[in-house]
Amino acid sequence: MRNFHIRDVWWGVLDIWDKRVWLRRSVYLLITAGIISAGLWSWYYPQCLSKNSIKMTRDWIAAGKLRNAAEIVQKANDLMPERPEPWLLASELARLGGQYTLAARYACRAVKLAPEN
């Protein structure tokens, strides 16, 4: 341990990095794939959630999984605060949970967003 220096380890890693071209290309490819995946996910996930959240919430309510439905409704309300459907589903969830004043408030919000319905 007396002759151990982190600098020697670092130079050994750099020597391996310089000698093995396949290693550099693999690491660069993985970094590029990670960046592209993160970018696509940040674009695709909100679109997928806003497209399917109403149906998924109704399915969770029908299955009796109110906690899962509440999580999806909350995300849908964050993504689509101007649409009345998530607020109606939030109202239904609050009513099923026995929170009638909260259900009325959510229903009023939905009516304000779409008075013609």
pLDDT by position in tens, the chain (length 117): 567 788 988 998 899 989 999 999 999 999 999 999 999 988 888 888 778 888 999 999 999 999 999 999 998 888 888 999 999 999 999 999 999 999 999 999 999 988 876
Task: Give the model's pLDDT for residue 1.
Answer: 55
Q: Is the dihedral of CA 35, 36, 41, 42 positive or negative?
A: positive
Task: Give the model's pLDDT for residue 46.
Answer: 80
Q: Per CATH, which fold does 6-113 belong to?
A: 1.25.40
Q: What is the pTM of this model?
A: 0.62
Task: Give the model's pLDDT for residue 105.
Answer: 94
Task: Give the model's pLDDT for residue 88.
Answer: 92
Query: How far apart are alpha carbons 96 and 8 in whole angstroms?
Result: 66
Query: How far apart are alpha carbons 84 and 107 in whole angstroms?
Result: 9
